[in-house]
Amino acid sequence: MIPMDVGGRVGRLRTVLGAAGCDALLVTSLTNVRWLTGFSGSAGRVVVLPDELVLVTDGRYGDQARLELAGVDGRVAEGRNLAAQLDSLVDLVAGVRRLGLEAEHVSWAAHQGYAGAFGSELVATTGLVEGLRLVKDAGEVARIETAADIASEALAHVLPLLADEPAETEFETIVAAGPNGGFPHHRPDARRIVEGDLLVVDFGALVDGYHSDMTRTVAVGEPSPERAELLALVTEAEALGVAAVRAGIDAKAVDAACRDYIIAAGWGERFTHGTGHGVGLLIHEAPWVNATSTDVLGEGTVVTVEPGVYRGGLGGARVEDTVIVTSDGCRPLTKTPKDLSCLR
Amino acid sequence: MIPMDVGGRVGRLRTVLGAAGCDALLVTSLTNVRWLTGFSGSAGRVVVLPDELVLVTDGRYGDQARLELAGVDGRVAEGRNLAAQLDSLVDLVAGVRRLGLEAEHVSWAAHQGYAGAFGSELVATTGLVEGLRLVKDAGEVARIETAADIASEALAHVLPLLADEPAETEFETIVAAGPNGGFPHHRPDARRIVEGDLLVVDFGALVDGYHSDMTRTVAVGEPSPERAELLALVTEAEALGVAAVRAGIDAKAVDAACRDYIIAAGWGERFTHGTGHGVGLLIHEAPWVNATSTDVLGEGTVVTVEPGVYRGGLGGARVEDTVIVTSDGCRPLTKTPKDLSCLR
């Protein structure tokens, strides 16, 4: 696997702190902690000082953190409990005049606690690390693409099993059959998959912390003409969305490419969600591809395109690819074909 | 499955709002939303007014929310995007003088947004719904116990497979073998399990939103005397902890029952985490069973007891049961025996 440039990230973060009005940053989002340091535990906060990076974690994670931070210019401070960890943080930020907090990743209660404990002026920051996470390096893309390949293989493996009429709950993902497909985020239940159903299969895999995300809608046996038309509509809308993706385009223009086609066909009211989202350490992250997004797609950003139309009792259809944005278009990381069927 | 009393919960919440200084509460923790209403989607906020309960969610979840709230005296308001949902919230709290927010489940950024949008005085509350969630009703216990039974069955199924020398990653849970067992929250890697290893298997299942949690440490083949002693130490410590559990006891006394035994054996420094935690809609929730906890175990509370000792290269051992607290002791929900072995 191509290595990731974890060690270079804190330097890039330091270059944006000044413009955000901070002399240092307390990183409390675990996802941002992982991106910045490689630390994958469930409890840890990072203090980014002008000349030092310190991960504060608890006794469970000290050894693991030191291993995972091997390629990063930083150190690990262990605190047995929350009070001891707060003491460490207080010491670390003692000389900091303006300390940035991640305002979306610090609770109101935690902010009150920090305000009482720290002498620094606390600055609300938004999306500093997330902004850097938008563009994936080669190692990150390799992990997402490997995850996408694993998901594709898994679907190829599962598809023939549908002929045996399993219940939805025999699958470990978002699977919605027939009327349940009418709910865009239905979770599997014991309904049995039957002839004629449209089966919405929302599939992902995880490699070294990085997600993939894809959806296929499979006709089980021979779908009715109405269902076949629904599936063709969504498949074409998705293709139009993917064709619109390129570096520099407004994310909302990609949404419009899908949505306008569905609206023209008369089903706009049944496309009840945005067209897509970024994918990386989170399954859903920036940029956001929807009608009110102000994001612009940058080269090296990984996004999904996933229009869906949900028609209640008739069933629903959604088609989703994960793609990486290039200067003149995009490269699909999802390689499963669209015309899947499952004969009985 | 025994039904849960979801419909009765909002009434119990209303009885504690006054003492918390609130006329109404905005519930933003999705776990608390689920407990209060049965809604299991990934986006939703609940306004609890003196005479009304309203779930505000987005277009993906309207139909699902109305189905799931069928047994609750409340209604669903759909907002297509965050701005429309905020408009709904502003309308709903228009007459509220003192509005409670869940200070631990509202970000600093969200608090700033609410402060700008609402006319109400915002009151920081902590643990109002969590306090009610502590004691499980019969339906909740049935779900946790079913999850525990599923996990026990899964372990019984997996145990014989260890004889075939699989890699850790063939298992979908926290499995740590040999030296990796020295890290209390190690995640599976490709290290192969070999003769003599102590295998720490941390297992859970999920039934209708409710978790179970158990850990067993399995000797693969014949452990060395040093490893056998380590496993016996932790097994006895866990038994002492379980024996200490009863309604009315301080949680820290249960921690001490385990910890003092391990300290007396000379391994206190290697027991690097708390003894246990509550289990319910979250895998880790209140009450907290550790040396600094101020929680008291109430009848009907479900907690884990899980001491562990981690000896680096030699490996680690942890033993964990989930139990329900009774008036004079506890009843184990985990039924897997402790003396597991796996012959080669």
pLDDT tens for each residue of B306-330 = 999 999 888 899 999 999 999 999 9
ipTM above 0.95 for this complex: no
The pLDDT value given to residue B176: 60
What's the CATH number where B49 sits? Answer: 3.40.350.10
Query: Which pLDDT band, with edges at 50, 70 and 90, does A344 fall under?
Result: low
| Range B279-288 average pLDDT | 96
| Range B103-108 average pLDDT | 97
Q: Which of A41, A183, A187 is opposite residue B185, by nearest beta carbon?
A: A41
What's the whole-number average pLDDT of chain A? 91
Nearest to B225 by CA among B132, B115, B314: B314
- Alpha-carbon separation of residue B61 from A158, A250, A270, B37, B121 (angstroms): 28, 27, 12, 14, 30
The pLDDT value given to residue A78: 94
The distance of B326 to chain A (nearest Cα, Å) reads 29
Verify that A121 and A260 share a domain, yes or no.
no
Residue B180, C-beta contacts closer than 8 angstroms, at least 6 positions apart = B168, B186, B189, B191
* Residue ending a domain, choose from A101, A117, A133: A133
User: Could you identify the residue written with the tokens 């000389």?
Assistant: A95
Verify that B12 and B99 share a domain, yes or no.
yes
Report pLDDT digits (tens) over B185-241.
Answer: 666 666 667 777 888 888 888 899 999 999 999 888 888 999 999 999 999 999 999
Asked whether residue B47 is domain-assigned, the answer is yes
Report pLDDT digits (tens) over B15-59.
Answer: 999 999 999 999 999 999 999 999 999 999 999 999 999 999 998
A267 touches chain B (CB under 8 A): no
The distance of B109 to chain A (nearest Cα, Å) reads 5
Verify that A67 and A175 share a domain, yes or no.
no
Asked whether residue A56 is domain-assigned, the answer is yes
Residue A335, C-beta contacts closer than 8 angstroms, at least 6 positions apart = A148, A149, A152
The nearest alpha carbon in chain B to A290 belongs to: B81
Verify that A152 and A119 share a domain, yes or no.
no
Report pLDDT digits (tens) over A263-294.
Answer: 999 999 999 899 999 999 999 999 999 999 99
The pLDDT value given to residue B177: 59
Distance CA A223, CA A327 (A): 39
**Which of A 298-337 lie inside 8 A of B, CB atoms?**
312
The pLDDT value given to residue A178: 57
Q: How would DSSP label each residue in B182-246? A: GSTT----SPBP-TT-EEEEEE--EETTEE--EEEEEEESS--HHHHHHHHHHHHHHHHHHHH--
Verify that B128 and B159 share a domain, yes or no.
no
Verify that A165 and A121 share a domain, yes or no.
no
Distance CA B192, CA B310 (A): 19
Long-range CB pairs of A176-179, under 8 A, 24+ apart, other chains included: A176/A200, A176/A316, A177/A220, A177/A315, A178/A315, A179/A312, A179/A313, A179/A314, A179/A315
Residues in chain B with CB shorter than 8 Å from the CB of A106 are 107-108
Residue-range definition of the domain harbouring residue B83: 6-133
Among A17-26, A192-201, B128-137, which stretch is predicted with the lowest mean pLDDT? A192-201
Asked whether residue B79 is domain-assigned, the answer is yes
Among A22-26, B98-102, B127-131, B335-339, which stretch is predicted with the lowest mean pLDDT? B335-339
What is the DSSP secondary structure assignment for residue B3, as one 8-state letter? Answer: P
Nearest to A107 by CA among B103, B320, B187, B202: B103
Q: Which of A64, A83, A292 is opposite residue B81, by nearest beta carbon?
A: A292
Residue B62 phi, psi (nearest 5): -55, -55
- How many domains does chain A fold into? 2
The pLDDT value given to residue B121: 98
Asked whether residue A107 is domain-assigned, the answer is yes
Distance CA B306, CA B228 (A): 18
Cβ atoms of A316 and A200 within 8 Å: the answer is yes
At residue A33, does pLDDT exceed 80?
yes
| Range A101-130 average pLDDT | 97
Cβ atoms of A266 and A309 within 8 Å: the answer is no
* H or E stretch at B287: strand B285-289
Query: Which pLDDT band, with edges at 50, 70 and 90, does B297 fall under?
Result: very high
Report pLDDT digits (tens) over B62-105.
Answer: 989 999 999 999 999 999 888 999 999 999 999 999 999 999 99
Verify that A158 and A92 share a domain, yes or no.
no
Verify that B147 and B184 share a domain, yes or no.
yes
B81 touches chain A (CB under 8 A): yes
